């Protein structure tokens, strides 16, 4: 079984990586960088790189669930169910880890809960005297943010359609450079300030340089799978922390709701950008960009399918090329979506059990999904007035939403968005726990009553 990250080098020749991979996989890796390209283009323009990060997280929102390649339907269902629970847990663990990192940081480091300005994407302030004005401002902020995301997604689709792979690659490299170096430096600085630890600049430089360089290598080139997963979780957490800090209160909640709706539309509508991206990738028989999606197992089987359109989380099932499923690429900035991974036809699918491992490359989830889940839980932790119940309720709600999404994926076997169900549950539970459950539990706890 492969354990190395598929490399993104454009000069795809027969190196040790390809020799490790199954012979059938053509996998032009170059397209993986495609997703990262658009973000970097933005990043280079102004210093306010934070707002560009949303492109990053949109890109990684691809989420592939590799199930079983096309088999006779009864057998296929049995196998997808057999692997279903394992894949769900393979996604629960990184999502939980990301949320734990974000919540731990929010609860301990003051910096991320202080208000120090806003992103240029949310220009309207929420310090207004009336509630109606505040609501209006947050809706306007959301509209601006969502339109930026839509524009970036369409830009990425256009770039991808016209095969500007180098541009996309450069963009993605620039954005991960910024995440891995600048944001890590800021994060480390704030953590050291919180715990009052003195560190000199040479040591700091050494640490940040090593962390960033190894991260770039692991994410964009080759590296041990666990290290790559850890880095992807770290950059998702950093991105989520930036959002939690710079998005105003009400705007954050409205944006979360709006982006779930956008995700749903972009992935399921016939003319949605993400869907078009995935379809283009499937037509070209190109793999998904691994750099912006979290993959739980490194198996690039043959005929690997779609180049991961920009970050949308796509949940993918391996599909039988003969079966003409309609797949929706989770593409474009921040549209989590689920889509299917193309599989090698017959020969590999009929293998016995031991051979199934190489084929069933774990599950993949776009980084945008990680980021928005963590934003929801982090905001619940930041604003819940020191209450852990709200945070835990949102956490459980998101996990259940993810479970249901995976179930739907196993049933429908096509690209599905990963955000809507989880974010809806998360929002419902946040508002209801904060307003209804918290007073009840606080009163019970103060009287030491147990229910």
Partner 1 sequence: MTAAVFFGCAFIAFGPAFALYIFTIATEPLRIIFLIAGAFFWLVSLLLSSLVWFIAGTITGHKDGPVQKYLLIFGVLVSVLIQEAFRFAYYRLLKKANEGLKAINPEETTPSMRLLAYVSGLGFGIMSGVFSFVNTLSDSLGPGTVGIHGDSPQFFIHSAFMTLVIILLHIFWGIVFFDGCEKKRWCALLVVVLTHLLVSALTFLSPQYGINLVLSYTIMVLMGIWAFFVAGGSCRTLKLCLLCQDKDFLLFSQRSR
- Residues carrying an active site annotation: 263, 369
- Residue window 29-68: x/- pattern of binding to partner 1, with contact defined by CB under 8 A: ----------------------------------------
Local structure of residue 59 (DSSP, 8 states): T
389 forms part of the interface with partner 1 (CB under 8 A): yes
432 forms part of the interface with partner 1 (CB under 8 A): yes
The residues near 74 (Cβ < 8 Å, ≥ 6 apart) are none
Site for partner 1, residues 411 to 430, rule: CB under 8 A: 429
- Cβ 377 to partner 1 shortest distance, Å: 15
Among 20, 81, 135, 408, the residue binding partner 1 under the rule CB under 8 A is: 81
Cα 216 from Cα 375, distance rounded (Å): 24
From the list 23-31, 44-52, 77-85, 182-190, the region that binds partner 1 by CB under 8 A is 77-85
Among 367, 382, 399, 409, the residue binding partner 1 under the rule CB under 8 A is: 399
Among 77, 190, 249, 356, the residue binding partner 1 under the rule CB under 8 A is: 77
Distances (CA, A) of 437 to 18, 194, 217: 55, 32, 46
Residue 379: phi and psi, rounded to 5, are -65, -40
- Cβ 280 to partner 1 shortest distance, Å: 34
Q: For residue 153, how far is the Cα from the chain centroid? A: 15
Asked if 311 contacts 292 with a C-beta cutoff of 8 angstroms, the reply is yes
Among 78, 203, 326, 411, the residue binding partner 1 under the rule CB under 8 A is: 78
Q: Output the CA torsion 263→267→270→272 (10° steps).
A: 50
199 forms part of the interface with partner 1 (CB under 8 A): no
Among 120, 158, 206, 444, the residue binding partner 1 under the rule CB under 8 A is: 444
Among 146, 278, 304, 393, the residue binding partner 1 under the rule CB under 8 A is: 393
CB atoms within 10 A of CB 24: 14
From the list 25-33, 154-162, 243-251, 433-441, the region that binds partner 1 by CB under 8 A is 433-441
**Contacts made by residues 376-379, CB under 8 angstroms, sequence distance 24+:** 376/256, 376/423, 376/426, 376/427, 376/430, 377/99, 377/102, 377/103, 377/426, 378/99, 378/102, 378/103, 378/106, 378/112, 378/240, 378/241, 378/244, 379/244, 379/252, 379/253, 379/430
Q: Using CB under 8 A, list all residues that contact partner 1.
A: 77-78, 81-82, 85-86, 88-89, 92, 386-389, 392-393, 396-397, 399-400, 403, 429, 432-433, 436-437, 439-445, 447-451
């Amino acid at each position: 079984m492969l354990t190395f990250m598929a490399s993104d080098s454009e000069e795809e020749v027969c190196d040790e990586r390809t020799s490790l991979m199954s012979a059938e996989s053509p996998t032009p890796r170059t397209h993986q960088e495609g997703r990262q390209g658009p973000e970097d283009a933005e990043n280079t323009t102004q210093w306010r790189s934070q707002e560009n990060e949303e492109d990053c997280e949109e890109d990684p929102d691809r989420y592939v669930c590799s199930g079983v390649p096309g088999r006779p339907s009864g057998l296929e269902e049995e196998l997808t169910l057999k692997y279903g629970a394992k894949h769900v847990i393979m996604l629960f663990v990184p999502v939980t880890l990301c949320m734990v990192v974000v919540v731990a940081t929010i609860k301990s480091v003051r910096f991320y809960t202080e208000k120090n300005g806003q992103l240029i994407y949310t220009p309207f302030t929420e310090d207004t005297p009336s509630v109606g004005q505040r609501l209006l401002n947050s809706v306007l902020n959301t509209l601006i943010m969502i339109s930026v995301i839509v524009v970036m997604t369409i830009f990425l689709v256009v770039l991808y359609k016209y095969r500007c792979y180098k541009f996309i690659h450069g963009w993605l490299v620039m954005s991960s450079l910024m995440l891995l170096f600048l944001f890590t430096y800021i994060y480390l600085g704030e953590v050291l300030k919180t715990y009052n630890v003195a560190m000199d600049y040479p040591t700091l430089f050494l640490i940040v340089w090593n962390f960033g360089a190894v991260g770039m290598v692991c994410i964009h080139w080759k590296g041990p799978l666990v290290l790559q997963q850890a880095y992807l979780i770290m950059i998702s957490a950093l991105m989520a922390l930036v959002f939690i800090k710079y998005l105003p209160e009400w705007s954050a909640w409205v944006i979360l709701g709006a982006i779930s709706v956008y995700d749903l539309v972009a992935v399921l509508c016939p003319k949605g950008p993400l869907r078009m991206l995935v379809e283009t990738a499937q037509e070209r028989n190109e793999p998904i960009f691994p750099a912006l999606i979290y993959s739980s197992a490194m198996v690039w089987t043959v005929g690997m399918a779609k180049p991961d359109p920009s970050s949308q989380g796509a949940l993918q099932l391996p599909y039988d090329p003969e079966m003409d499923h309609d797949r929706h690429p989770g593409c474009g900035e921040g549209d989590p979506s689920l889509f299917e991974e193309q599989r090698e036809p017959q020969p590999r699918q009929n293998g016995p059990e031991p051979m199934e491992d190489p084929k069933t490359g774990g599950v993949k989830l776009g980084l945008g999904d990680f980021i928005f889940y963590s934003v929801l839980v982090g905001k619940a932790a930041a604003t819940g007035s020191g209450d852990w119940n709200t945070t835990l309720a949102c956490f459980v709600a998101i996990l259940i939403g993810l479970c249901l999404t995976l179930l739907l994926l196993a049933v429908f076997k096509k690209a599905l968005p990963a955000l809507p169900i989880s974010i809806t549950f998360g929002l419902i539970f946040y508002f209801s726990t904060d307003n209804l459950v918290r007073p009840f539990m606080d009163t019970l706890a103060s009287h030491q009553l147990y229910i």
